[in-house]
Structure 1
Amino acid sequence: MDRYEVRDALLATGMSPDAFELEGVHEHVPVPPDFWFLRRSAGQRWEIGAYERGRYDVRLVFDTEEEACAGLWRALTGRPAPAS
């Protein structure tokens, strides 16, 4: 699952588009007060976390985009990522 697929899957569950941000795929203007994010980190890794009150709080770091997408899916839905 990549960022495009996780976006489509999250929206298909009925999740609010304001609940998450995916670097380069699903970004906010203006920025909501809180949401979960997925973005590249230093060294070609990927991180997920929560944005609240103007601060990014990185919760987990992954080696691949696929792992990060699965991690974000689990964080937001509480379920294993759907098979690609």
Structure 2
Amino acid sequence: MNPELVELALRKQRLQIRSAEQRDALAYHAQAFTPLLHGIDRVSDGVRWARDNAPVLSGLGVFLLVVRPRATLRWARRAWVGWQLVRRVRALIP
């Protein structure tokens, strides 16, 4: 067998072993981010649910506006400020 091919095969095998070790190390270190990623998933699921159920949320908003107008307007103002903050942060992120 050609010695160059043997050397290439050995180099390939060493690189594969090294890649496997790096993947294992990355997976081990990424475990620290698991709670954060689960939280992001929950927020994402909540936003998706809100988009899918917009008529229900609108009806609830109108009901609360009739029953408790002052509290509803206070929460609406907070939501508006939060929405504006999200838009500004999105504009900053490329």
TM-score, normalized by the shorter chain, greater than 0.5: no
Instruction: Determine which structure has the larger strand proportion and give its number.
Output: 1
TM-score, normalisation: structure 1: 0.23
Greater fraction helix:
2
Q: Between Structure 1 and Structure 2, whose CA radius of gyration is higher?
A: 2
Normalised by the length of structure 2, the TM-score is 0.22
Compare relative contact order (CA 8 Å, sep 6+) and give the higher one, 1 or 2.
Answer: 1
